[in-house]
Chains A and B, each alone.
Chain A
Amino acid sequence: MIADELKSFPVVAALLEAAPEALTGGKFDRDELTLEIAAQRIVEVCAHLKDEWKFARLSTVTAVDWYPEEPRFEVVYHLHSPERNERLRLKCRLPGENPVIDSVTVVWRSANWYERETFDLFGIRFCNHPDLRRIMLPEDWEGHPLRKDHPVTGDRV
């Protein structure tokens, strides 16, 4: 559901026009605009935002694990438009079982390492990513440390 106060943002109004089902929610809190996007539409929405709304930069991609809630993961994108001096946050929910989402590397190439990092630390897979490998941890590491069910301390058994 899109609150009426959000519709006053031109970006939101335009997205509702271009891809109405893609936008599943949002909020404007502490001067920051957050939009929730249906996971399967993320590439389309990002391409639209980059081309039509001049979001030339992808500032970062990361995730939040809401274990044991379902859908468990939240993939978070921070977009930035230097030209219009605007920032925007996009979020997609993914299930805990086999979390997969399309890679946005086709839109911004900088997504490459950010998605690798998210894959490495959360175990979220990005489809069509050119080089999806671990980036921080060794190749033979077991588990994904930023998941909430991964222990902070202790020996590996």
Chain B
Amino acid sequence: MASPRLLFICGMLALAGAAHAQSKTPGGIPPPPGMSLAESAAMRFPQPVRVGDLIGREVLRPVESQDVLGRVRRVVRDANGQIMVVVDFGGFLGFDSRPIAVPVDAMVLVGQDMEIVAFTPKQLRQFPTFSPVGTADVADDAIIKVGLAKPSH
């Protein structure tokens, strides 16, 4: 049976090939169907990052045009203890955005920004508006681990 990493790369290059006609080795490839977010995040060499350094970061779409999906508002732990990044999503230039909670395993660090690699904008639009009920803020000085991706272009 092919190694998970091989499956990951080959399967997604085929899919990504259509979307990323420009780059031969695109960054921010989504996890293959069937692989859990935790597994796919673990394959991206997660690095320690200070939660306070994430607040305000732009959250980008992993495509050449680097569309801005939103900004990081805060980081919380949900009722199951999973770390979620609350993103002010959508709208235009900050107007009319709404907060949604994105699992940190669905996101990557790209330099001074973040990207959401596991969900398309269409899927993100279906996310419920974030409610702080049952969640706990993660302190600014806390260190969490977030996966990496190469830049998208």
Judge: A and B partners, yes or no. Answer: no
B interface, CB within 8 angstroms of A = none
